[in-house]
Chains A and B, each alone.
Chain A
Amino acid sequence: MRFDTVIIGGGLTGMLAGITLQKAGQKTAIISTGQNALHFFSGSFESIKEPSQRIVELFAEAGVRLHYSPGVRLLPLGTFKESALALEDVDIFPTPKFARKVLIVNFSGYHDFFTSFLADGLEKQGMTCRLRFLSLPELETLQQSPSEMRSVQIARVMDRVWEKVVQEVRVLLKDEDAVVLPQVFGLQDTSVPGRIRQGIPAHVVFAGTLPPSVPGIRTLILLKQRYQLLGGTYLMGDEVIRAHTHEGVVHSVATRNLDNHYIEAANFILSTGGYFSKGLISNPFQVLEPVFGLDVEYKEDRNQWYNPTFKEDQPYMHFGVKADENLHALKDGKPLENLFVAGSILGGNRPEFGFAAGQCIKTALFAADQILKK
């Protein structure tokens, strides 16, 4: 099978690159080994500090609404972090003290939302907190299997019964001017977070839970739909096992599922992610890129891979695949002229593109632009 561009890695980077290329009339395919890091997405693109019409529009076309308002956002354990660009249901406040009194509400039996930590953190900022639990009959069946009472399971129920949450919270609410709820709303029905905000007469803040991330999965569903509507081919659950490269040009790749049916393309984008997604793998001696065997920037001395103080910045997080100024992948020091690397696989190699989700967006657009410029 032949495409204009084949994208290896179907997470945020791969889908944004794919959407951009499909919009420009290219025929593309995305090959994805299972699900991706959007399942751990905070909902905020931290490293993007400046407003960008292009990014906001690209997401809006897929039905993902972003807002730009520099400030701080609330983290799941009650601390705050600088942010400017985020999903619409992820609040960014001018200062950490976003209210006087806060009502923190969780569902009975749900263990992936840390209300006490949140309360401690908010009280440190001078806010008074009250914790309450909601019991909804619709959630009782989930509790039969407590190990599986997770964000997504709750979110599926909430798409149907969110109005009950509004009613119950209105009853619980006394003189608080803000309510904190777990981020379990709007998985399929994207209007739910907005309607909850409208229905509760206080500022409603959705705070992060343990994975899977509901806003992340929602973003993934919408981006994937957009990519497929534009005619993109998404190969889910497949893995590139071999690449055929000749004199600095990648010709085709072989995958586990399609065995001897090679996928050919004029250009390739490698966006297989970091360690979690196995875009990078390590053994006791080195850090490797498994698909093409690209050059990886890392420290030779293994003792320098990590900082023994857990909370400190960890050097291994900055290791990544080497690329030239146009993001052509480097192998044995030489660029492969039709292979671009984008997303978390770059690690900290290219600070000008930012980090994490912000890096994914910027490198995805940059790589797609390079291909379209050719």
Chain B
Amino acid sequence: MKLQEYTSSRHNFEECMKCTVCTAYCPVLQANPLYPGPKQAGPDGERLRLKAPYFFNQALKYCLNCKRCEVACPSGVNVADLIQSARIKYDTTPPKLRDRMLASTDFMGSLARPVAPVVNAVTGLGVTKTVLDATLKIDRHREFPKYSSRSFERWLKRRRKEQTVFPEQVAYFHGCYVNYNYPQLGKDLVKVLNALGVGVQLLEKEKCCGIALITNGMSGQARKNANHNVAQLRQAVLDKGLKVLTTSSTCALTIRDEYPNLLGVDNADVRESVLLATRFIFEKLEKGASLKFKSGYHRKIAYHTPCHLERMGWGIFSEKLLQMIPGVEFTLLDSNCCGISGTYGFKKENYEVSQAIGEPLFAQIRSVNPEVVACDCETCKWQIEMSTGYTVMNPISILAEAIED
């Protein structure tokens, strides 16, 4: 009997009672009629796929992997994991050149960094955007993130000695964005942690967390990165007894949850030690540490919870931390997806859907009219800045700005 094989699946598949609640919270379903919706793409489709892979539907690629279906599910079904696992298992279409390029964030970053001013100038040109739009189907409306000439790794390596002076130490998984595009965020984290008496170390050698590889059909490469990173984390956590912090909510979710759930990479011995920086800082302050804030600081801030942070349930730490800053006027924005979902919104075929999904959030930001939007995700930042014109800052950067130098 092959009964088991044909009926059982992971991700709490059996718990689905067809209540349809997930369909009310899927941002894609509201904007793209080609997408069958989380219930159909997830547990309903899984039941069929278990009978025969023939039932795999290419439209599953429209899933953003925002995981709002999982947050909404009253029965604990990991709907998005079912969908992404099905894509990994059944989709045999090789990824396009464009998707490979978008997904290879650290490879592209290391290519671009030495010639950053040239790359930045070229990708900013209208003509480049038109060419990329026509040839690679990267939507012309998108602004490419600028590359930095100096990587964050290089900056921190030069300060290795001064960091070792601090009595407490953490490791920092900076991710591709901080390393290649925006080292300032990493520097801000170092400033805040140093002010708390904590020194910052790099992992020996980190690789991209791999989320873009997973969503672009390159799970093999993603698994390699995951195995590499978990080995690095073990060195930091088990050998050196360090916590590992990230400033990107998606890196944190990927390392903690996508590695075991989608890629089958066991991280049980290090998972609890991988934390978003805002959680680590909140917990330190809760235990009695203190930061010296500038007097006369004032910021009107609207906080947007990125989808992956919502799924982790850690938005509360960033929120409470921002609210602790004297002089901050705080608004919590309604929990809505901004629509970009990493590389998804860069693709020409997704551009309109991406903007339609984000519109309720953009409208709310315009009506709140804050000085800055705070958010723990770099791709939400690009999307919100491009779509609303408001500046978006990571809560860590706001904290760094608010404390005394």
Contacts and interface: CB of A to CB of B under 8 A. Distances in A.
A152 B23 contact: yes
Contact of A217 (B19, B24, B283, B335): B24
Contacts of A150: 20, 23-24
Interface stretch (B69-77, B174-182, B187-195, B230-238): B69-77
B286 A236 contact: no
Contacts of A144: 33-34
Contact of A258 (B21, B44, B313): B313
Given A33-B74, A144-B34, A147-B37, A257 B23 contact: no
A304 interface: no
A237 interface: yes
Interface in A231-278: 233, 235-239, 255-261, 276-278
Contacts of B14: none
B108 interface: no
Contact of A148 (B17, B36, B334): B36
A276 B40 CA distance: 21
Contact of B272 (A141, A259, A277): A259
A370 to B, nearest CB: 27
Contact of B332 (A212, A228, A258): A228
Given A145-B37, A153-B30, A237-B313, A35 B76 contact: no
A34 B272 contact: no
A77 interface: no
Instruction: Find the residue from B316, B320, B332 having the highest chain A CB count within 10 A.
Output: B316
A257 B314 contact: yes
Given A237-B313, A261-B279, A145 B24 contact: no
A34 B72 contact: yes
A112 to B, nearest CB: 9
A150 B36 CA distance: 12
A39 interface: yes
B222 to A, nearest CB: 23
A142 B74 contact: no
A237 B25 CA distance: 12
B166 interface: no
A33 B76 contact: yes
A141 B72 contact: no
B73 A34 contact: yes
B11 interface: no
Contacts of B332: 228
Contacts of B316: 1, 233, 235
B74 A235 contact: no
Interface residues of A, number: 38
A36 interface: yes
A233 B33 CA distance: 34
B311 interface: yes
Contact of B74 (A35, A148, A152, A260): A35
B72 A145 contact: no
Interface in B299-352: 310-314, 316, 320, 332, 334-335
Nearest to A236: B71
B279 to A, nearest CB: 7
Contacts of B74: 33-36, 276-278
A201 interface: no
B36 A237 contact: no
B382 interface: no
A150 B314 CA distance: 31
A211 interface: yes
A257 B272 CA distance: 10
B196 interface: no
Contacts of A197: none
Nearest to B283: A261
Contacts of A97: none
A212 B19 CA distance: 8
B33 A145 contact: yes
B35 interface: yes
B313 A257 contact: yes
A111 interface: no
Contact of A142 (B33, B76, B279, B311): B33
B40 A147 contact: yes
B313 A255 contact: yes
B29 interface: yes
Interface string A77-112: 000000000000000000000000000000000000
Nearest to A142: B33
Contacts of A211: 19-21
A161 to B, nearest CB: 15
Interface string B21-50: 101110001100111110110001000000
A51 B283 CA distance: 47
B11 to A, nearest CB: 15
A156 interface: yes
B34 A34 contact: no
Contacts of A36: 74
A98 to B, nearest CB: 30
Nearest to A157: B30
Interface in B60-85: 70-76
B304 to A, nearest CB: 14
A361 B70 CA distance: 28
A237 B200 CA distance: 32
A3 to B, nearest CB: 11
A184 to B, nearest CB: 12
Contacts of A147: 36-37, 39-40, 44
Contacts of B70: 237
Interface string A144-170: 110110101100100000000000000
Given A147-B40, A152-B23, A260 B272 contact: yes
B272 A238 contact: no
A57 B106 CA distance: 57
A207 to B, nearest CB: 19
Nearest to B26: A148
Nearest to B271: A259
B312 A39 contact: no
Contacts of B72: 34-35, 237
Contacts of A34: 21, 71-76
Contacts of A217: 24
- Top 5 A-B residue pairs of the complex, sorted by shortest distance between their CB atoms: A257-B313, A237-B71, A34-B74, A141-B33, A148-B37
11 contacts: A34-B76, A39-B21, A141-B33, A147-B37, A150-B20, A235-B313, A235-B316, A236-B71, A237-B311, A259-B272, A278-B74
Given A148-B40, A237-B310, 6 more contacts: A1-B320, A33-B76, A34-B75, A36-B74, A211-B21, A258-B313
